[in-house]
């Protein structure tokens, strides 16, 4: 992949492919899952060839997403570690929401909102995976009691709802902050974008002269 001269690599090609596999799985899971959640959304199962197909394919897509998100965690974990800057940034969240980012504490590669999305999913995806296994009737129903399956179903739907809400926030934020979608499709951002939204990250890139989106901070290897 070649990037336009003068731009900064925000997400590597591998990370982008990884992201879009996860995203595709997530959308399919939302559609098939909601078809089994609310009667008014049962029509969504037609997208999969009917209710039996939606029911049958949903857990398999879930496995792909679980593996895919695990790989995303590996790639994005280091830049999503919580630190003191995040609290300061959260303190100015009103200015951020009002698009008045001047004076907002500088953040590195990810701000607290992005970290919230990362960690929410890092928690919810394993919960959905584990409860999903329990309610995967075809293969796993003999291994748990019906009472455990009832609890798993309730947790699965709660976690799924939370994940969908986080996902809506994630998608909206990407549309709202211009340049973000391109950062995940074509992989690059302009220096101005980095200056405006991730100034610490920009400064680090500048001092490291790194061609990668995740330069090590001085003193850390």
Partner 1 sequence: MADLQSQDYIRRSASTMTPPSIRDHEREVAKLIDVSRCIGCKACQAACMEWNNLRGEVGHFEGSYDNPLDLNPSTWTLMRFTEWENEQGNLEWLIRKDGCMHCEDPGCLKACPAPGAIVQYANGIVDFISENCIGCGYCVKGCPFNIPRISAVDHKSYKCTLCSDRVGVGLEPACVKACPTGAIMFGSKSDMTTWAGERIEDLMSRGFTKAGLYDPPGVGGTHVMYVLHHADRPSLYAGLPDSPHVSTYVAVWKGLFKPLALAGMALTVVAGFLHWVVAGRNEVQPADEAEGQRVLHPTEDKR
Catalytic annotation on 156?
no
Give the CA angle between residues 120, 122, 123 to the nearest 5°. Answer: 65
Contact segment (CB under 8 A) with partner 1 among 64-72, 110-118, 196-204, 212-220 equals 196-204
Query: Between residue 15 and residue 74, which ones bind partner 1 under the rule CB under 8 A?
Result: 35-40, 42, 45, 50-52, 54-56
Question: Which region, judged by CB under 8 A, interacts with partner 1, from 14-22, 65-73, 161-169, 211-219?
Answer: 161-169
Tell me how far apart the alpha carbons of residues 20 and 186 are, in angstroms, rounded to a whole number.
12
Closest CA to 109 of 40, 186, 9: 9
- Strands (DSSP E) contained in 8-132 are 8-9
| H or E element, residue 188 | strand 188-189
Q: Say if CB 30 and CB 37 are below 8 A apart.
A: no
Residue 7 per-residue DSSP state:
-
**CB 202 → partner 1: shortest distance, Å?**
6
User: Among residues 58, 156, 170, 197, which one is catalytic?
Assistant: 170
Q: Is 146 in the site for partner 1 (CB under 8 A)?
A: yes
Is residue 3 a contact point for partner 1 (CB under 8 A)?
Answer: no
**Closest Cα to residue 171, out of 10, 17, 19?**
19
**Residue among 20, 27, 87, 178 that touches partner 1 (CB under 8 A):** 178
Token pair, residue 112, equals 């607290």
Site residues for partner 1 per CB under 8 A = 35-40, 42, 45, 50-52, 54-56, 97-99, 101, 135, 137-138, 141, 146-147, 149-151, 153-154, 157-158, 161, 164-165, 168-169, 172, 175-179, 190-197, 199, 202-203, 205-206
Annotated active-site positions, please?
A: 170
């Amino acid at each position: 992949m070649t990037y336009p001269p003068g731009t900064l690599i925000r997400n590597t090609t591998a990370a982008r492919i990884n992201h879009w596999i996860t995203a595709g799985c997530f959308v399919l899971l939302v559609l098939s899952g909601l078809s089994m959640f609310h009667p008014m959304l049962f029509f969504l199962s037609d997208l999969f060839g009917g209710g039996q197909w939606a029911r049958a394919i949903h857990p398999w897509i879930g496995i792909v997403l679980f593996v895919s998100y695990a790989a995303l965690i590996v790639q994005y974990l280091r830049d999503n570690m919580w630190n003191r800057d995040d609290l300061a940034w959260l303190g100015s969240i009103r200015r951020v929401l009002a698009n008045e980012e001047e004076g907002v504490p500088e953040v590195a590669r990810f701000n607290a909102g992005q970290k919230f999305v990362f960690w929410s999913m890092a928690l919810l995806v394993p919960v959905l995976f584990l409860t999903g296994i329990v309610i995967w009737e075809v293969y796993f129903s003999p291994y748990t009691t019906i009472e455990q399956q009832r609890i798993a179903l309730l947790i699965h739907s709660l976690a799924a709802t939370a994940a969908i809400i986080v996902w809506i926030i994630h998608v909206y934020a990407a549309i709202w902050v211009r340049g973000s979608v391109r950062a995940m499709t074509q992989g690059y951002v302009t220096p101005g974008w980095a200056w405006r939204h991730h100034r610490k990250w920009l400064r680090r890139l500048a001092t490291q002269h790194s061609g990668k989106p995740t330069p090590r901070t001085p003193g850390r290897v």
